[in-house]
Amino acid sequence: MGGERLLLMSGFSPVLIFALSVGLILVIAIIGGLQAARRREAWRALAERLGCSFSRSDPFDIPRACAQALFKQGSSRRATNVLHGTIGGRAIKCFDYQYTTGSGDNESTHYLTCLLVTPPIPFQPLSIRPESFLDRVGEFFGLDDIDFESDEFSRRFFVTCPDKKFAYDILHPRAMELLLEGDQISLEAQRDSVLLHYSKVVRQLNLPDEVETFIRRGLRFMELIPDYLIEQEKGTM
C-alpha cells in the first residue's frame, strides 16, 4: 500500500506540476479576458443608448488632467472604458478606474466606477464623503467639518469647503436628500469639474443598470444647483 502511494506521488513530477500551474494561469487569464470583453461591450452599448461616445482606453489622460485627490492616491492609476459626451446639456465622463496602494505582500489594487461632470457654475473646492471613525476622532481634536440643519446628513457625511456659504447654497435640503438616498456618494469639486463615486462600493459598478443609475444621480445633483447661483455667475461674466 505504501509502495503504491509512493509510486502515485512520484508521478507528479516537477514538469507536470509546472504544466498544471501554467494551465491554471492560462485558464484564469482567458476567463478574465472574456469578462473584460463583455464589460467593454456593455459599456459600448450603454454609451450608444445614451447618445454618447465610448473609448476603450483613456483619451483624456484623466488621472493627470484632473486635480481631485482621488487621482493622486496610490500608483498605477488608470482609467478605462470611458463613456463620454453630453446628456441633457451636461458634459460627462463615466469610467472604470483603478489604482494600487502598498507594495509586496501588502499591495492592493482598488477598482471603482467614477463620474466626472462639468457643472453649470465654477465650484469652490468642495469635498463631501461618508463620515468615518477617523473623522469622528478628528472632530474630538478640533478638526471639525461643516454641519447642516439635517442631523442625519451631518452625521453621515463629512463636508469641507473654504467657503461655508457656498457649501450651504449647494447642499440645500433637496440636494442633501438626494445624497442620502441609496449608497453613499463621495463628491469632490475642483472649479470646472465635479467627481462622484460610491465610497463603500469596493468594486466596479454593474452594467448597465447600476452605472446608468449612477450617471442619472450625478446629473440630478447638477440640476439641483440653485438658479440664483447660476444667475449670479452670469452677472459676473
Q: For the segment 2-30, what is each residue's pLDDT rounded down to a tens digit?
A: 445 544 445 557 766 766 666 556 555 55
Q: Domain containing 161: what range?
A: 53-235
What is the model's pLDDT at position 131? 87
3-state SS string for 189-216: EEECEEEEEECCCCCCCCCCHHHHHHHH
Asked if residue 48 is part of any domain, the answer here is no
Angstrom distance (rounded) from CA 217 to CA 90: 13
If you average pLDDT over residues 71-75, what whole number do you get? 95
Asked if residue 156 is part of any domain, the answer here is yes
Number of helices (H) and strands (E) in the chain: give both, helices first.
Answer: 9, 8
pLDDT tens digits along 145-190 = 899 999 999 999 999 999 999 999 999 999 999 999 978 899 999 9
Query: In total, how many domains does the chain have?
Result: 1
Asked if residue 24 is part of any domain, the answer here is no
Q: Is 201 exposed, middle or buried (0-12, 13-18, 19+ CB in 10 A)?
A: middle
Is the pLDDT assigned to residue 138 strictly greater than 70? no
What is the model's pLDDT at position 8? 45
Please tell me the pTM assigned to this model: 0.84
Neighbours of 234 (CB within 10 A): 10
If you average pLDDT over residues 70-95, what whole number do you get? 96
Angstrom distance (rounded) from CA 188 to CA 191: 10
